[in-house]
Amino acid sequence: MPRLFHPEDFLVGPVPENLPENPVIYAEAPSNIALIKYWGKQKNGVQLPMNPSVSLTLSRSKTLSTARLKRRNEKKGSTLIFKLDGERKSSFEPKILTFLERIRPYAPFVNAYDWEIESRNTFPHGSGIASSASGFAALAKIVMDLEEQIYGTYKPGYRTAKTSFLARLGSGSAARSVAAPAMLWGKHPEVAESSDYYAIPLPFALHPAFEDIRDTIILFERGEKSVSSTQGHRLLENHPFKNQRISQAFNNMTAMLHALQTGDWDHFGRLTEAEALMLHALMMTSEPYFILMKPQTLGFIQDLWQWRKSFENSHGEKPPVYFTLDAGANVHLLYSGPWEERVMEWLGQTVPEIIREGLYIADRMARK
């Protein structure tokens, strides 16, 4: 069984004097789409989840980052320049500086450098793909590369765990963006090596029925959300259904792990859709309440349900095609690879303008 790490295991020794002078480090990290949703943070600790979550790692939706570090003499805080797609984004810099400050007890060498970070995403901004997850996972990989240059190489299990641990301190969902094909974050009684502090690759192989999961993302909305995920997490603290949600998430996790091992697409799909709807139900019943779905979102979901039912009635087979949602209006359509042609044909009939104008992203689950 893989080792269970604790935060103190990620501490390093004193920062040596002979640090690399001006290293340039490149890293890339994928985004992910949660099946069992992370919504709500523990009051004690930083970025610790109220419930466990599990996600699929995406193959094509990535953040590519290069850090150019310059050795500094002062021991106090680092300076930072952050560029996205070649343009400086000073509005992003405070969050990255907060990240560097949070990880300092576990990576004290970060303060020995001034940072210039250039990033680009392989997916459009505002597409509903979690760029904070892939972005902070890429930064965590850069920090771990620097740590290995300074202290030497570690065993693979340690590196994956600490990368996830550091990424979590930037964005909770980033904890799940460091390995493929799927990751579990949050302590769950049926997975002994699971942890609230970092995510782990699933401790079993996915059933062959799930070896080729496609994720076609339908872009009904592009741009910034009206309510941030951070605000949404905070609203769960006093939510009237908080305890029921936590209990439900643990139960759904148990069922999802079973479905992923047994190849049960129907159970997988029903759990995934129920979790997506619960996420948005929590938003709509919080105080203050808010709605991130759009009319097109609901219309598309109803069209999908009708198509599945009609196909099953006429062909005697239920299509392995289901939806999930992030905290936004766009729909992730998850389906088995052999169904791609039929799914794209149905999409062309159901949302022809979306397909015609290319307002979708064709992604898939990453391989190990």
Question: Which domains occur in the chain, in start order?
Answer: 7-201 (3.30.230.10), 208-364 (3.30.70.890)
Residue with the bigger pLDDT between 228 and 241: it is 241
Residue 124's pLDDT band, with cuts at 50, 70 and 90, is confident
pTM: 0.95
Residue 184's pLDDT band, with cuts at 50, 70 and 90, is very high
Q: What is the distance between the alpha carbons of residues 181 and 175, in angstroms, rounded to a whole number?
A: 14
Could you read off the pLDDT of 139-183 as tens digits, one per residue? Answer: 999 999 999 999 997 777 999 999 999 999 999 999 999 999 999
Q: Which class for 17: exposed (0-12), middle (13-18), buried (19 or more C-beta within 10 A)?
A: exposed
Residue 1's pLDDT band, with cuts at 50, 70 and 90, is low
Confidence (pLDDT) at 128: 64
Could you read off the pLDDT of 310-335 as tens digits, one per residue? Answer: 999 999 999 999 999 998 999 999 99
Kindly state the percentage of the chain with pLDDT values over 90.
85
Q: What is the distance between the alpha carbons of residues 119 and 203, in angstroms, rounded to a whole number?
A: 32
Residue 43's pLDDT band, with cuts at 50, 70 and 90, is confident
Q: How far is CA 70 from CA 9, 20, 74, 105, in A?
A: 28, 9, 12, 20
Confidence (pLDDT) at 155: 79
Confidence (pLDDT) at 215: 98
Q: How far is CA 99 from CA 116, 134, 165, 253, 309, in A?
A: 14, 14, 12, 29, 47
Confidence (pLDDT) at 75: 62
Mean of pLDDT over the chain: 94
Query: 156-168 and 131-151 helices cross at what angle (nearest 10)?
Result: 130
